[in-house]
């Protein structure tokens, strides 16, 4: 009897059933934070350090929307003589009525960058295109006849990346002088790098990782950055263009204008 009562009492007690186990939510890995951007500052040798003459009247303000690469069309065996060559380019351009050297920045064979015409103003040209709105970097050398050094190409890419970032110009739109005028400029070697997009690719890769700035040095610092053995401005040779200067950036030699026999004919 007792067993029966005990069994009934036990049966009357509620039975607690544990709740079903809730599976843990899957662990979703957090995305890696983006890598911090690098910085690069392109040092620019100022006009006073390479011995520029003052600009003359006639400069035209413009708003930069394009990047157009040029070459000087003068053989550049080394960087040491670049300051003297740049002075001769400016002297020649001014002798032909330009207010200043035709280009905004000049890049020598060692990748040194020189201040040219103020970027606030349009460049100049002997060819049949309007350079207003174009940022004009100049590679020192004749790239119909010589190859650029890797240092020079690196200097160009850094300058182009800076310009691309400053004016929001897509790298794939970087052009060459001969894209706009009947000219050989910037020489077959450089033109091929532009035409095939190889320069644009290097610029895009730099843009993807690095904020590039331009730093204009003071005169003393600029002089200290001049290539070894470069003649000081006050000791520069005559500014006249050498007679053996390569034909201009323009067109086939037989169709080039008279000015084309001088270096850096834009």
* DSSP at 114: E
pLDDT at residue 13, rounded to an integer:
60
58 φ, ψ (degrees, to nearest 5) = 115, 0
Q: Which is nearest to 152 in space by CA: 140, 143, 142, 161?
A: 140
pLDDT at residue 254, rounded to an integer:
27
Q: pTM (2 decimals)?
A: 0.79
* DSSP at 240: S
Contact residues for 187 (Cβ-Cβ < 8 A; gap 6+) = 71, 73, 141, 142, 143, 144, 145, 249
Q: Cβ(67)–Cβ(135) under 8 Å?
A: yes
Q: What angle do CA 161, 266, 84 make, to 5 degrees?
A: 85
pLDDT at residue 1, rounded to an integer:
52
pLDDT at residue 20, rounded to an integer:
76
Q: Cβ(251)–Cβ(182) under 8 Å?
A: yes
CATH code for the structural domain at 38-52+61-225: 3.40.80.10
Each residue's pLDDT, cut to its tens digit, for the chain (266 residues) gives 545 444 545 555 666 777 777 777 788 888 888 889 999 999 999 999 999 999 999 999 999 999 999 999 999 999 999 999 999 999 999 999 999 999 999 999 999 999 999 999 999 999 999 999 999 999 999 999 999 999 999 999 999 999 999 999 999 999 999 999 999 999 999 999 999 999 999 999 999 999 999 999 999 999 999 997 654 454 333 343 432 233 334 333 223 333 333 556 67
DSSP SS3 for 217? coil
């Amino acid at each position: 009897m007792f067993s029966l009562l005990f069994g009934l009492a036990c049966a009357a007690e509620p039975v607690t059933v544990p709740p079903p186990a809730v599976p843990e939510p899957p662990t979703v890995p957090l995305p890696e934070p983006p890598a911090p951007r690098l910085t690069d500052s392109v040092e620019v040798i100022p006009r006073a350090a390479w011995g520029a003459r003052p600009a003359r009247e006639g400069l035209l303000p413009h708003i930069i929307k394009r990047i157009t690469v040029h070459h000087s069309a003068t053989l550049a065996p080394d960087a040491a003589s670049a300051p003297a060559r740049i002075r001769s380019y400016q002297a020649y351009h001014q002798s032909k009525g330009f207010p200043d050297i035709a280009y905004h920045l000049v890049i020598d064979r060692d990748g040194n960058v020189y201040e040219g015409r103020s970027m606030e103003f349009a460049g100049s040209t002997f060819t049949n295109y309007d350079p207003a709105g174009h940022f004009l970097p100049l590679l020192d050398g004749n790239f119909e006849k010589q190859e650029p050094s890797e240092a020079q190409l690196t200097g160009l890419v850094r300058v182009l990346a800076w310009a691309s970032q400053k004016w929001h110009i897509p790298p794939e739109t970087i052009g060459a002088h001969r894209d706009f005028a009947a000219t050989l400029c910037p020489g077959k070697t450089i033109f091929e790098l532009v035409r095939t997009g190889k320069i644009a690719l290097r610029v895009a890769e730099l843009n993807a990782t690095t904020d590039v700035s331009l730093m204009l040095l003071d005169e003393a610092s600029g002089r200290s950055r001049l290539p070894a053995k470069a003649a000081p401005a006050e000791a520069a040779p005559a500014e006249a263009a050498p007679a053996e200067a390569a034909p201009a950036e323009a067109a086939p030699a037989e169709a080039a204008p008279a000015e084309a026999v001088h270096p850096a004919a834009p």
